[in-house]
Amino acid sequence: MAGTKNSFWRFACALPLIAAALVLSPELRARTNARFEPRIPDIPGYVTLKCDLHTHTVFSDGRVWPDIRIEEAWRDGLDAIAISDHIEYTPHDEDVRRDHDRSFEVASPMADQLGIILIKAVEITKQVPPGHFNALFLDHAARVEHEDYLESIGRAVDQGAFVFWNHPPFKQKDNRSIWHPEHTKLLEKGWLHGIEVVNGSDYYPKAQQWCLEKGLTFLGTSDVHSLIDFDYDPRALPGDFRPMTLVFAEEKTQEALKQALFARRTAVFAKGKIYGESIYLRPIFESAVELVTRQVTVAGKGLAVVQVHNRSDIPFMLVADGELAELKFPNELELVPGGTVRFNVSGKSAETEGTRQVLLPWRATNLVPAPGQSQPVQLELTVTFTKPAGKDR
């Protein structure tokens, strides 16, 4: 009887919570069923695929079921995702059957339903050196397992895998990115194809430099273990996107994505910055930014107003890259995502006349072609210079 009373009392106490859930559920369902796509432009000749190529589930040390990763990827506007559970580290064995192919099998139906490219992958987890590596595009994940790192990576490569080095400073001395002879051996064999330049909230300048020097592909990943919304939520905080690899592919297919990764056609988008080579950073800027005001007239040293629109979700931060002989322009300019901003230009002389094509020189400080560098960019403006009214001609 006491148990019955206690059960009734618990039910009564829970009623307000149940009612609140029923009231809120339409809003929660709407949020869950909404896809929020980061506006990142295609570049000439390629489509820009937004990818997260390093995630985990309960089949290793993650905390979510595999199909949740697909739903998260869809809601976050991704085109492709890799579930890369650890081969050697599976702490949930007592509750989840140890099967290195199973996470892909569980997630595949949801990926097909939502149009997400799902890449079969694993994380090869070895002591440092050499560390952890993701192997993508596997046929049989379980066959990669071996205690020797060369044998394990070799088995992945035999399946046509794209292999990249994860979080280079992890468990290294003083948390530094250190290149070891083991990495040289992998590189010489052609078994190392890329490095994570960004992992979660961390950016690795040394890894970016290695990619440039050694001809390796830039990767940026979330390495998410819990729900992705615990770490990133662009719906609540504009611009709070998960780190992602931007892959410049010929089309939105797994085959084209794989070809682009091996061809090093990537950049990394993280915390409002893009890390990559200039051949990709420049067209990203040019595809995202356009002058609304293409032509102005400047009388003497007078002002003219120029408007420029940023159609992307990339917050371009511009600083002047030198001066112009005949025209003044701002030393700093922020092009807010999805917005149009205006700025003034003015003449330097009352004597200048004629129409000229002027290239306004800036550097985009959030476009990073190499550690400590920023990408030069230009905006082309047609300027007609006239003498001020009343000035003797």
Q: Supply the pTM of this predicted model.
A: 0.90
CA angle, 302 then 308 then 311, to 5°: 175
CATH number of the structural domain spanning residue 243:
3.20.20.140
d(CA 70, CA 347): 55
d(CA 258, CA 354): 52
Query: Are 152 and 144 in contact, with CB atoms under 8 Å apart?
Result: yes
Q: Are residues 234 and 89 in the same domain?
A: yes
Q: Are residues 246 and 128 in the same domain?
A: yes
Looking at 276, 306, 337, the residue that finishes a domain is 276
Residue 127 lies in a domain: yes
273, burial (CB in 10 Å: exposed 0-12, middle 13-18, buried 19+):
buried
Residue 188 lies in a domain: yes
Q: State yes or no: pLDDT of 252 exceeds 50.
A: yes
Where in the sequence is the domain holding 218, given as residue range(s)? 33-276
Q: Are residues 99 and 128 in the same domain?
A: yes
d(CA 270, CA 200): 9
213, burial (CB in 10 Å: exposed 0-12, middle 13-18, buried 19+):
exposed
Q: Are residues 196 and 159 in the same domain?
A: yes
Residue 16 lies in a domain: no
Q: State yes or no: pLDDT of 10 exceeds 50.
A: no
The two three-digit tokens of residue 276, written as one number? 């990559």
Q: Which residues pair with 165 in a beta bridge?
A: 133, 195
Residue 262 lies in a domain: yes
CA angle, 128 then 130 then 134, to 5°: 110
Residue 81 lies in a domain: yes
Q: Are residues 219 and 333 in the same domain?
A: no
Looking at 276, 305, 326, the residue that finishes a domain is 276
The two three-digit tokens of residue 53, written as one number? 């190529």
29, burial (CB in 10 Å: exposed 0-12, middle 13-18, buried 19+):
exposed
Looking at 216, 241, 276, the residue that finishes a domain is 276
Write down the pLDDT at residue 389. Answer: 78
d(CA 222, CA 261): 18
Q: State yes or no: pLDDT of 12 exceeds 70.
A: no
CA 257 to chain centre: 15
CATH number of the structural domain spanning residue 329:
2.60.40.10
The average confidence (pLDDT) of the chain is 92
Q: Are residues 256 and 313 in the same domain?
A: no
Amino acid at 344: N
Residue 113 lies in a domain: yes
Helix (H, G, I), strand (E, B) or coil at 170: coil
Q: Which phi and psi angles does 13 have, rounded to 5°?
A: -65, -30
pLDDT in tens, 280-339: 999 999 999 999 999 999 999 999 999 999 999 999 999 999 999 999 999 999 999 999
The two three-digit tokens of residue 70, written as one number? 């697909």
Q: Which residues pair with 260 in a beta bridge?
A: none
pLDDT in tens, 137-180: 999 999 999 999 999 999 999 999 999 999 999 888 888 999 99
Query: Are 283 and 369 in contact, with CB atoms under 8 Å apart?
Result: no
Number of domains comprising the chain: 2
Percent of the chain scoring above 90 in pLDDT: 85
Q: Are residues 99 and 240 in the same domain?
A: yes
Comparing CA positions, the residue from 222, 331, 220, 235 lying closest to residue 268 is 220
Q: Are residues 260 and 307 in the same domain?
A: no
pLDDT band per the 50, 70, 90 thresholds, residue 95: confident
Residue 199 lies in a domain: yes
Q: Are residues 198 and 74 in the same domain?
A: yes
Q: Are residues 102 and 247 in the same domain?
A: yes
Q: Are residues 216 and 349 in the same domain?
A: no
Q: Are residues 227 and 341 in the same domain?
A: no
